[in-house]
Chains A and B, each alone.
Chain A
Amino acid sequence: DAGVIQSPRHEVTEMGQEVTLRCKPISGHNSLFWYRQTMMRGLELLIYFNNNVPIDDSGMPEDRFSAKMPNASFSTLKIQPSEPRDSAVYFCASRLSWEGTDTQYFGPGTRLTVL
Chain B
Amino acid sequence: EDQVTQSPEALRLQEGESSSLNCSYTVSGLRGLFWYRQDPGKGPEFLFTLYSAGEEKEKERLKATLTKKESFLHITAPKPEDSATYLCAVQRKGSNYKLTFGKGTLLTVNP
Q: Which residues of A contact B (CB under 8 A)?
A: 4, 31, 33, 42-45, 48, 50, 55-56, 91, 93, 95, 97, 102-109
Contacts and interface: CB of A to CB of B under 8 A. Distances in A.
Q: Please classify the interface of chain A as helix (H, G, I), strand (E, B), loop, or mixed, using the class held by over half of its residues.
A: strand
A48 B97 CA distance: 8
Interface of B: 31-32, 34, 36, 41-46, 49, 87, 89, 91, 96-99, 101-104
B43 A45 contact: no
Contacts of A91: 43-44
A102 to B, nearest CB: 6
Contacts of B104: 42
Contacts of B87: 43
B43 A106 contact: yes
